[in-house]
């Protein structure tokens, strides 16, 4: 693998240089159109993670309007323009990444480099995707793109790492052409962007089965892997950053959760990961009245709302439910607690 990675880097440099030269006119025209439709800046830059956990600035053409609450541009749906959809569907927004390939941040083929937010959420197996450089396209992108779950994407990323070879890269390259021309898997269920990765949704203990889903409310029927019903879980969207999560166990399910704390913890883990995947920053839950439930929520990271957050949480609940937090009582969970800087992450220009 080491020998091929050296050859692969040479191929990447040649391909990126040739691509930049060949597509220079297209890049210039696309930049002009982005300027006309979206204004300055033309490029979108974001920290991403590549081989060995190195952080670099990935550059793409902007496909969204700037964040502007005064104009109602606050969500992906309102910020993504028709021209932006075209850029994404044709993958023209990815052209500036050829520069990232040329300077060594990325490869032509490899797992897509993702944001630093996800580093604390990977399982050890999923983290193996960083054993190679991130790529413009990868095995996951030609096997379903956004139509795949995050767990499925990461399975394919690790499969690519384990099968890294010239033939693998050639096969993925050929399939990439077909995927781009066919505009496959760019958007899912007419949603502007795929859901974020909130942590693995796989479990050896419980199964979440979708029951209903609207813009504001998502519900699941939950059972153990052995088939014993637990009850329902729900996630209610309050605003851009707050989600209320609930576990509504059946009588039998209450006994299961009380008698098997590990199952209770697993249900909460999967519910929190779903809230994080819905791009929430804070999860709220009614204060549990049963001692064993309170312990489970505390272990999952739920705490009493601190004074500095009381006003914002109260305002969010009042706007959405006409209800004050003290009417029912809520705990909160910070879905992205501050983490110590990883000394292994090195910033690349």
> Do 92 and 36 fall within a single domain?
yes
The predicted-structure confidence for 23-50, as pLDDT tens digits, reads as follows 999 999 999 999 999 989 999 999 999 9
pLDDT in tens, 270-299: 999 999 999 999 999 988 755 678 889 999
Does 233 lie in the same domain as 322? yes
Q: Would you state the pLDDT for residue 320?
A: 64
Taking residues 186-208, report their average pLDDT.
Answer: 76
pLDDT tens per residue, range 226-252: 999 999 999 999 888 899 999 999 999
Per the structure, the complete domain to which residue 312 belongs is given by 206-334
Where a domain ends, among 175, 196, 217? 196
User: From CA 50, how far away is CA 58, in angstroms rounded?
Assistant: 10
CB 146 within 8 A of CB 188: yes
Which residue, 38, 26, 99, is CA-closest to 63?
A: 38
Is the domain of 92 the same as that of 169?
yes
Mean model confidence pLDDT for the chain: 87
Model pLDDT for residues 315-334, shown as the tens digit of each residue: 877 766 555 444 568 899 99
Q: What is the reported pLDDT for 83?
A: 94
Confidence label for 255 from pLDDT (cuts 50, 70 and 90): very high
Q: Is residue 340 part of a domain?
A: no
pLDDT band at 170 (very low <50, low <70, confident <90, very high): very high
Predicted TM-score (pTM) of this structure: 0.85
What whole-number distance in Å separates Cα of residue 319 and Cα of residue 312? 11
Q: How far apart are CA 230 and CA 296, in angstroms?
A: 15
What pairs with residue 45 in β-bridges? 59
Beta carbons of 31 and 61 less than 8 angstroms apart: yes
Helix 291-299 with 261-277: angle, nearest 10 deg: 50
Contact in structure between 104 and 132 (CB atoms under 8 Å): no
Q: Which of 225 and 144 is assigned the larger pLDDT? A: 225
In a domain, 298, yes or no: yes
């Amino acid at each position: 693998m080491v020998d091929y990675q050296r050859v692969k880097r040479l191929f990447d440099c040649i391909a990126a240089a040739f691509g930049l030269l060949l597509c220079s006119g297209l890049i210039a025209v696309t930049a002009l159109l982005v300027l006309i439709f979206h204004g300055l800046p033309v490029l979108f830059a974001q920290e991403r993670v590549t081989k060995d956990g190195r952080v670099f600035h990935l550059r793409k053409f902007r496909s969204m309007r700037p964040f502007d609450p005064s104009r109602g541009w606050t969500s992906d749906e309102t910020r993504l323009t028709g021209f932006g959809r075209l850029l994404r569907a044709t993958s023209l927004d990815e052209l500036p990444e050829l520069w990232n390939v040329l300077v060594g941040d990325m490869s032509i083929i490899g797992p897509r480099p993702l944001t630093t937010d996800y580093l604390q959420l990977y399982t050890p197996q999923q983290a193996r995707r960083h054993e190679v450089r991130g790529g413009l396209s990868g095995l996951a992108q030609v096997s379903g793109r956004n139509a795949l779950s995050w767990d499925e994407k990461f399975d394919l990323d690790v499969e690519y790492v384990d099968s890294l070879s010239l033939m693998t890269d050639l096969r993925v390259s050929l399939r990439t052409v077909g995927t781009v021309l066919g505009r496959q898997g760019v958007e899912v269920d007419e949603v502007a962007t795929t859901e974020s990765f909130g942590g693995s949704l796989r479990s050896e203990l419980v199964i979440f089965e979708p029951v209903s889903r609207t813009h504001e409310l998502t519900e699941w029927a939950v059972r153990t892997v052995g088939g014993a019903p637990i009850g329902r879980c729900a996630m209610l969207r309050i605003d851009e950053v707050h989600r209320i999560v609930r576990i509504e166990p059946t009588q039998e399910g209450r006994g299961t959760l009380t008698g098997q704390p590990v199952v209770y913890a697993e249900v909460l883990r999967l519910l929190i990961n779903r809230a994080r995947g819905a791009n929430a920053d804070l999860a709220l839950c009614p204060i549990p009245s049963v001692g064993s439930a309170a312990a489970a929520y505390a272990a999952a990271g739920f705490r009493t709302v601190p004074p500095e957050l009381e006003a914002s949480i109260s305002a969010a609940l009042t706007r959405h439910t006409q209800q004050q937090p003290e009417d029912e009582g809520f705990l909160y969970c910070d879905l992205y607690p501050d983490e110590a800087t990883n000394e292994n992450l090195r910033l690349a220009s």
